[in-house]
Amino acid sequence: MSSLTCSASFSSCVRSTILRSAASSFQKTSAIMFLSTAWLLLAVMVALSSQAERSVVLNVVKPSSSRDGLSVRCTFDIRLSSEIKTIQSMKMQRRLALSNIPYSEVATITPSGKVNRLGNEITLSGDVGNGSYSGLYIKYASPDAGYCTIYRCLVKGTNSKGWTKYEDYNIGTGGKNGGRCYRPGEEPAQCVAEAETVKELEKQLNEYAAQLAGFTNLFSINKDTYLVSALHEGRVYTMNKKTERFSLQKMNDRCKEIGGYLVEIDNQDEQEFVAKFSTLLGNKMVYTGANDIQKEGTFVQYNSKKLVSNVKWMEGEPSNYRGVEHCVVLRTYGLNDIMCGRTYRYICEIPLV
């Protein structure tokens, strides 16, 4: 190529060829750099646009006074959601920064109420389902709490087809007053969130220990004496295989021997599950722990003394027929008050968690 384009000396020809090659390379490099920069700017614009249009937004509001606590606020705009058309709940979770410890629940808000998992440690406010905006807001009582923590806001709802959908957003906090956050075990006295996490882990450990004890009791149940149900909402139910004359105190003591108590129907979902289980041995009715022995017409649970509520009675019941019906049996179609000393099976309720 040099011999065709150079008419000067050999050195001049080489120098000319090198300059042309360098100019061509510079033009190609400049074009590549321009395209790369353009793509980068486009990606940044898309990211900023996406962030500006997020349906779930999570903010940390640091206190203006040294006596006030940290606030964490989650908002959800249903108009910006491509998935959720009806909101069911908003949940705040947290975990310690610089660790692999899983998230634990802080608070939950549903259209019917609020659940505060941290008690007096935080104040909880907000509401869901009222208009386009929903919100969940927490504020720490202690001015030192809530730092060195990653928060997640999880929104649950349904789409236009009724399918369950989730949207979430995470945000982290640094140390108080810009201080450093430390890994667990590195500087335990430096980050208050570590102490909070230890308490949370202790709580979980106690729950697991209680659950393990429950399963241990379950394995010790005599299967020749009792039929055991499947797990339902963290508990199982047993039914004695042989019928015998019923006594509230005697049968409740039997239930205690296997880690439980006479069944306490708390809601219609539990009632349906236990009623279906009770038919496995061909029963028409089984005794529960409900009774009105202390005060006629006021039904309470024998073990916990809680008022009986949120249950379905059979039509015309309770009736206190002939003034002697003070115990309660469960039938397929509802609850019914009957005499206490009849010969039927009974149900024990055994919590595992």
**Amino acid code (one letter) for 240:** N
Which residues, including other chains, have CB under 8 Å from residue 247's CB and lie 6 or more apart? 340, 341
Which residues, including other chains, have CB under 8 Å from residue 253's CB and lie 6 or more apart? none
Cα separation of 49 and 72, whole Å?
23
- Mean pLDDT over 269-286 rounds to 94
- Mean pLDDT over 217-227 rounds to 78
| 34 pLDDT above the threshold of 60 | no
| 12 pLDDT above the threshold of 60 | no
Q: Reduce the secondary structure of 190-236 to three states and give it as a string.
A: CCHHHHHHHHHHHHHHHHHHHHHHHHHHHHCCCCCCEEECCCECCEE
pLDDT at 100: 82
Instruction: Considering only the C-alpha atoms of the chain, give the largest distance between any 2 of them, rounded to a whole number of Å.
Output: 130
Structure tokens at 1: 């190529």
| 152 pLDDT above the threshold of 60 | yes
Name the pLDDT band for 234 (thresholds 50, 70, 90): confident
pLDDT digits (tens, 9 = 90+) for 176-202: 887 888 776 665 544 455 566 677 777
Contact 347/247 with Cβ under 8 angstroms? no
* CA-only gyration radius of the chain, Å: 34
Question: Would strands 286-291 and 343-351 be described as parallel, antiparallel, or unpaired?
Answer: parallel
| 247 pLDDT above the threshold of 60 | yes
| 49 pLDDT above the threshold of 80 | no
The position carrying tokens 């179609």 is 333
